[in-house]
């Protein structure tokens, strides 16, 4: 397969570095003093190089904030969406309880009252592990964790959240992702946030997959916190952001420097943040055209997959309830890893929803939450598209999958 073309259909895992991000970063990555003079100094230093770096950092922060209708002061720069998710769940819960004089862990509040009756955090059962494992940390500290299950189409409905909220005696925070990374299912985060607020809870959404693929406005949705990633939209890896609405209680999880208004310590990655801002601006400006392009190719891919024997197109992503860039299918009788490697040998990069754990193959927790049987779920394949995906890419992927499952 040495002559096989390279077709990349795993954009939901990471996007190639965009031209806009690369160009924006280039001056800050020059070797030696040249890069420092361009503004890649320590933004917390008082000298000229430090002040220039600070100006660069704040300009980038403003650009990122503008893409989601936020204030620059509401953007906390992080190492990525995983850190943003962890900070949102643990930091907000610790912050809320600290205001009530309660300490649950090793944040900046060392003393406090014992836990009040049954404080809880509510998350969907289809969240990324960055949210699920952060919720588990809270559970081990005495917080009740309640789960909202999706319907059979993978959608977390307002009715499902309302049911869980009714059972919660003291909900502190609700966290539901805007667009699921395995199925592409969308959540109505504006309506979900409103339900959370009515119950006295704050609302966080992991918008990693939605950012750059659909319009996002923290003002219109009313969310209290939102996680963003750079590398999913063509920015560099190792950079992300947490939108934290003004006056939202929050206990810093990384301390020892005071950066990011004492909310996230650590010297900021100037070049990375500049690249993130450039990618965010570009994806924001190109959003309408790029989304239409991806939807058209998504529909072409889905139609082709639906015609393949041995492939179960169990979700129709052409519905308005799904994002523009993800198509997920099941291939009964195959395991995801086998399909991924066979497609890779044929020059097609895709992803799967199962993973090896302790030598036991386990299905995606997302598909399990949707009620899909284990044997079917093990054959999941996710195709995810981007702005530069072509019809030729789609057609080649379909031909290669047909060879494997025939």
Cα 399 from Cα 331, distance rounded (Å): 15
Within 66-130, strands assigned E span: 75-78, 119-124
Hey, which residues does 382 pair with through a beta bridge?
328, 351
Task: Let me know: does 196 contact 158? Beta carbons within 8 Å.
Answer: no
Cα 17 from Cα 191, distance rounded (Å): 34
Cα 52 from Cα 302, distance rounded (Å): 49
69 Cβ contact list (under 8 Å, min separation 6): 216, 217, 218, 219, 220
Is residue 356 annotated as part of the catalytic site, yes or no?
A: yes
Overall residue count recorded for the chain in this entry: 406
Hey, which residues does 356 pair with through a beta bridge?
361
**Tokens (6 digits) for 211:** 């950012």
What b/e sequence results for 62-95 when a residue is b if at least 16 CB atoms lie within 10 Å of its CB, and e otherwise? ebbbbbbebeeebbbbbbbbbbbbbbbbbbbbbb
Helix and strand counts by DSSP (H, E) for the chain: 16, 14
Residue 173: what are its φ and ψ, rounded to 5°?
Answer: -150, 140
**Coil/strand/helix, residue 173:** strand
Distances in Å between the alpha carbon of 256 and those of 102, 259, 301?
23, 9, 49
Residue 332: what are its φ and ψ, rounded to 5°?
Answer: -55, 140
Of 34, 289, 356, 361, the catalytic one is 356
Closest CA to 211 of 129, 277, 115: 277
Active site residues: 356
């Amino acid at each position: 397969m040495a002559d096989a073309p390279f077709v990349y259909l795993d954009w939901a895992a990471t996007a190639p570095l965009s031209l806009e991000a690369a160009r924006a970063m280039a001056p800050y990555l020059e070797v030696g003093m040249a890069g420092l003079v361009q503004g890649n100094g320590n933004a917390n230093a008082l000298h000229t190089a430090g002040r220039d770096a600070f100006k660069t950092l704040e300009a980038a922060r403003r650009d990122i904030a503008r893409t989601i209708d936020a204030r620059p002061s509401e953007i906390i720069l992080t190492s990525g969406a995983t850190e943003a998710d962890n900070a949102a769940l643990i930091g907000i819960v610790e912050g809320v309880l600290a205001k009530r004089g309660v300490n649950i862990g090793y944040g900046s509040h060392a003393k406090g009252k014992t836990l009040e009756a049954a404080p809880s955090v509510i998350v969907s059962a289809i969240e990324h592990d960055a949210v699920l494992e952060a919720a588990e940390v809270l559970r081990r500290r005495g917080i009740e964790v309640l789960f909202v299950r999706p319907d059979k189409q993978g959608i977390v409905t307002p009715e499902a959240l309302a049911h869980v909220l009714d059972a919660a005696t003291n909900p502190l925070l609700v966290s539901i992702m805007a667009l699921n990374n395995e199925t592409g299912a969308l959540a109505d985060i504006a309506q979900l946030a409103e339900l959370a607020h009515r119950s006295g809870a704050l609302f966080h959404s992991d918008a990693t997959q939605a950012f750059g693929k659909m319009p996002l406005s923290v003002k219109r949705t009313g969310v209290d916190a939102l996680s963003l990633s750079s590398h999913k939209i063509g920015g560099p890896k190792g950079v992300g952001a947490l939108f934290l609405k003004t006056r939202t209680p929050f206990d810093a999880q990384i301390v020892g420097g005071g950066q990011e208004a004492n909310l996230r310590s650590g010297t900021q990655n100037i070049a990375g943040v500049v690249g993130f801002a450039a990618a965010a601006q570009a994806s924001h400006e190109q959003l309408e055209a790029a989304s239409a392009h991806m939807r058209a190719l998504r529909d072409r891919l889905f139609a082709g997959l639906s015609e393949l024997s041995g492939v179960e197109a169990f979700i129709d992503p052409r519905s308005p309830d799904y994002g523009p860039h993800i198509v997920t299918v099941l291939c009964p009788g195959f395991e995801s890893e086998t399909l991924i490697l066979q497609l890779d040998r044929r020059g097609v990069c895709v992803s799967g929803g199962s993973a090896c754990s302790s030598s036991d193959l386990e299905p995606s927790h997302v598909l399990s939450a949707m009620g899909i049987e284990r044997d079917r779920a093990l054959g999941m394949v996710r195709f995810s598209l981007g702005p530069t995906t072509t019809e030729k890419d789609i057609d080649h992927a379909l031909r290669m999958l047909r060879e494997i499952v025939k």
